Structure 1
Amino acid sequence: MDTTITPIKKGPNIPPGNILVNEKWRGSAFEMNLKSIGRVSYCGDIDIVDFYPSEISPVIYVNEGDLLSGVCYERKLKKMQKVVNQNPVIIADRNINTIKQFSELQDKCFSMNLTLIPIGNISELPQLLFQMAYIETKSPNNPFKQREKSRDDLAEIQLKLFTLIPGVGAKKAKILLDHFGHSSNLVSIYQKMYLSQSCLH
């Protein structure tokens, strides 16, 4: 069996504000929700990538079903890890049903230095993707500065998600971000606070 991991090629050219979508999503209910928010284009030649909200941000989406069924996405993560001059992002469902599985995915992403963004379910995905696309239109043209800016802005997106936690407002979420630094650490904080809130009910 060939275990060679072929790196993902350079990201495609994408008009500002558009999202490039893998052909496998065409005709789905999710596609209709995505198109209701903004402009999308399709491509059948972007390998394992589900979405490109920008040329430097390949995105893989891991839904609740994939997490619960134990689908192995290790190979996908390894491919994303080998991306050069881009900011690969993993978006995954993180809810009461997927706490354990999300934690396992989180550990893998952390060890591979991949950005992981939690969402409640697929209904939150269209808005997040277009937020990412909008952010890239505001980034400088320098690819190295753009990569750094993208990471910062993705952390800001995570910050907004964490303000949805009961008892955590914008001020407290900002304190957590300042204290723990890298956005990956916030996922652990989110999990601990979520479990703490659950135990109170």
Structure 2
Amino acid sequence: MTTKANFPAAAGSVVVPYGHVVGNEKWRGSEIAQRLQGKIKLIFEDGLGLVDFHLSNRICILYISEADLVAGDDFKRRLVRFRNANSLGGIVIVERTQISDQYFIAVQKLVVLELGMVLLPVANQGEASQLITQLVREQSKDHNSNPFLRKQCSQLLEASVFRTVQQIPGVGKTKALLLLQQFGSIHRLCNASVKELELVVGQTVAQQIHTFLCS
């Protein structure tokens, strides 16, 4: 079911009816919209700006396609503008394909380490639609207090941070776990000195981490 509704378009003021998703008009007729139909109630709205889909009044999705990654840095500016301008919880869905894979680590670093947002890779729009459907259905299990999305986003962020830290040169699963246990937050890790890092992972890896995070 796809309808049109005149909801407020300003960030943070979009009204999302229970059981619905509000999508940016630009996605009308897309594969992701077609796959969502019949699974959830999708409403298209003009003027959502940087946001692609609102799952609730406070949680939204920004979608970065393979074409966006290959085209240049416009998507980076979009993400930074969103984070600087909104208090909304943003989930960034990124198409990770054979073509876009070379850009993925840099995107992880920006989204998770620098902007503190949740990043979820998908292979295509079909996989993205399944992910959105899952999030909406889980949210609907307890829509009165709606604790799921807060908990879900926290869990997704932790997993996303853990995967991203593993991508730092010289850091694998074990060192990533040690680093996050030691520093407690990604903000503290990014601001740690080489000497502080050395106590956890040794001099060589500490320098690699510091160079990666400060570059």
Please say whether Structure 1 and Structure 2 have the same fold, judged by a TM-score greater than 0.5. yes
Q: Matched residue of 2:104: which SS?
A: helix
Instruction: Assess, with a 3 A threshold, how the Cα gap between structure 1 residues 122 and 191 changes in structure 2: closer, same or farther.
Output: farther
Which amino acid in 2 is paired with 1:186?
A: R
1:118 aligns with 2:121: yes
Structure 1 or 2, whichever has the larger Rg, is 2
Number of equivalenced pairs = 158
1:9 aligns with 2:5: no
Which amino acid in 1 is paired with 2:56?
A: S
Q: Residues of 2 paired with 1:119 and 1:187: CA distance? A: 16
Instruction: Assess, with a 3 A threshold, how the Cα gap between structure 1 residues 134 and 189 changes in structure 2: closer, same or farther.
Output: farther
User: Under a length normalisation based on structure 2, what TM-score does the superposition of the two structures give?
Assistant: 0.63
CA contact (8 A) 1:37 1:127 kept: no
Deviations 1:33-57 (A, max 9, x none): 2214321011102111111122221
- Choose from 135, 138, 143 the match for 1:135: 138
- Choose from 24, 28, 36 the match for 1:26: 28
Q: CA RMSD in A?
A: 2.7
CA contact (8 A) 1:21 1:52 kept: yes
Instruction: Assess, with a 3 A threshold, how the Cα gap between structure 1 residues 65 and 122 changes in structure 2: closer, same or farther.
Output: same
Q: Residues of 2 paired with 1:65 and 1:16: CA distance? A: 32
CA contact (8 A) 2:135 2:149 kept: no
- Choose from 150, 153, 158 the match for 1:151: 153
Deviations 1:78-119 (A, max 9, x none): 2321321x3111100113322221111111112111111111
Which amino acid in 2 is paired with 1:130?
A: T
- Structure 1 residue runs without a partner (length 5+): 1-7, 156-180, 193-201
Alignment of 1:180-191 (within 5 A): 181-187=158-164, 189=166
Partner residue in 2 for 1:94 = 96
Q: Residues of 1 paired with 2:167 and 2:130: CA distance? A: 20
Q: Matched residue of 1:74: which SS?
A: helix
1:139, CA displacement in angstroms? 4.9
Q: Residues of 2 paired with 1:183 and 1:139: CA distance? A: 25
- Choose from 68, 71, 77 the match for 1:69: 71
Instruction: Assess, with a 3 A threshold, how the Cα gap between structure 1 residues 141 and 75 changes in structure 2: closer, same or farther.
Output: farther
Q: Matched residue of 2:74: which SS?
A: coil
Instruction: Assess, with a 3 A threshold, how the Cα gap between structure 1 residues 150 and 12 changes in structure 2: closer, same or farther.
Output: farther
Q: Percent identity?
A: 23
1:182, CA displacement in angstroms? 4.6
Instruction: Assess, with a 3 A threshold, how the Cα gap between structure 1 residues 89 and 11 changes in structure 2: closer, same or farther.
Output: farther
User: Under a length normalisation based on structure 1, what TM-score does the superposition of the two structures give?
Assistant: 0.67
- Structure 2 residue runs without a partner (length 5+): 1-9, 170-215
Runs of 4+ in structure 1 deviating by more than 4 angstroms, as ranges, are 139-143, 187-192
Which amino acid in 1 is paired with 2:161?
A: S
1:78 aligns with 2:68: no
